[in-house]
Structure 1
Amino acid sequence: MKTAHDLVTAAKSRIQEISVTEAEQAIQQADILIDLREPDEYAAGHLQGAVNIPRGLLEFKMSGSPELSARNLDIVVYCKTSGRAALAANTLHEMGYLKVKSIAGGFDAWVQNGNNIVTLALPAFE
């Protein structure tokens, strides 16, 4: 029986994983940057320009959004530590997307590298 770790390891052997340093340029060139974390994780802090599509909704969002249907889109994905992103990148390849990159170490590595993040400002109710 395979574990989640086994599945992530297998996915990482089939995808293009890039370092945080490489990610900066890849993000600038990307058509879409996808944050695969849950909405509360995204709200607490995310990469500038990232669109939140939780991992559990990815296939449905990609299939159901005409603007995301082109298989030659340049896509960069990330999650907290890169496990969900590896699985997502592998799935996107299986769906026919040709240019998918996953950020090694995910959001945590991005922050540890000293890169800026964006947080959602909540309205003040006074």
Structure 2
Amino acid sequence: MGEQSGQRKLFEQFASVAKALGHEYRLELLELVAQGERSVEALTQLTGLPVGTVSQHLQQLRRTGLVAARKEGKYVYYSLADDEVLELMASLRRVAQRNVAEVQRLVEQYFHDQTALDALSPSDLVERLRAGMVTLLDVRPREEYAAGHLPGAVNIPLDELEQRLQELPADQEVVAYCRGPYCALSIEAVQRLRDRGVKALRLEEGYPEWRADGFPVQ
């Protein structure tokens, strides 16, 4: 095998991974399984997609080594193959946001006000937590929180926030986080808290990125 031929075969395999990432449903599924192991049925409910569609996309992700699967009884559970997948997704996000005009426009539209733009870096959050300056709020669903969360975080899913505001200290700033940098849950939570006079920010990353960066989790 010539050097050029061997290199092209490697590129062919790299391209298969890139191709697996080339669908919005598969990127959404990766974000969801990054929160913790999920069954096909759970992912179907979360995405609103037909079970056959979810299963087909998961199989494509599995063939290219992006997710791992295990079977328990009649159910199949999926998880990220490793945290390098998160870094791959982060690189894709950064390149697209920096170089694709439509992505830049959508991000500006999505983060349409100062509430969305105010975000705390992980290192800044660590400093504030050590100083006891903030309350950490996880607004993901309970099962995602149970699978893993930031140490000391209070779990109040977004749809319960108004009814459980009394559980948050009135004299501390609240930092909300959810599934990832573009997750709407923390953005909406910060907006609702600010509307009720609570000083609030969001974490600029989500639980999976925090874990992959080596910060402690529970």
TM-score range, shorter chain: 0.7 to 0.9
Cα gap change, 1:97 to 1:77, in 2 (>3 Å): same
Q: CA offsets per residue over residues 75-118 of structure 1, 9 Å max, x none?
A: 111111142111111111111112x1211111122112111111
Equivalent in 92, 95, 104 of residue 193 of structure 2: 92
Counterpart residue number, 1:40: 143
1:10, CA displacement in angstroms?
Answer: 2.1
* Alignment partners' CA distance in 2, 1:101 and 1:9: 13
Q: Structure 2 length normalisation: TM-score?
A: 0.45
Counterpart residue number, 2:111: 9
Counterpart residue number, 2:174: 75
Superposition RMSD in Å: 2.2
Larger relative contact order (C-alpha < 8 A, sep ≥ 6)? 1
Higher share in helix = 2
Judge conservation of contact 1:89–1:101 (CA < 8 Å) in 2: yes
Gaps of 5+ in 2: 1-106
What amino acid sits opposite 1:103 in the alignment? L
Q: Please identify the structure whose Cα radius of gyration is greater.
A: 2
Q: Which ranges of 4 or more aligned residues in structure 1 deviate by more than 6 Å? A: none
Q: Percent identity?
A: 29
What amino acid sits opposite 2:164 in the alignment? K
Judge conservation of contact 2:138–2:177 (CA < 8 Å) in 1: yes
Kindly indicate whether residue 209 of structure 2 is the aligned counterpart of residue 106 of structure 1: no
Judge conservation of contact 2:115–2:201 (CA < 8 Å) in 1: no
Counterpart residue number, 1:60: 163
Gaps of 5+ in 1: 119-126
What amino acid sits opposite 1:43 in the alignment? A
Cα gap change, 1:87 to 1:8, in 2 (>3 Å): farther
Judge conservation of contact 1:42–1:52 (CA < 8 Å) in 2: yes
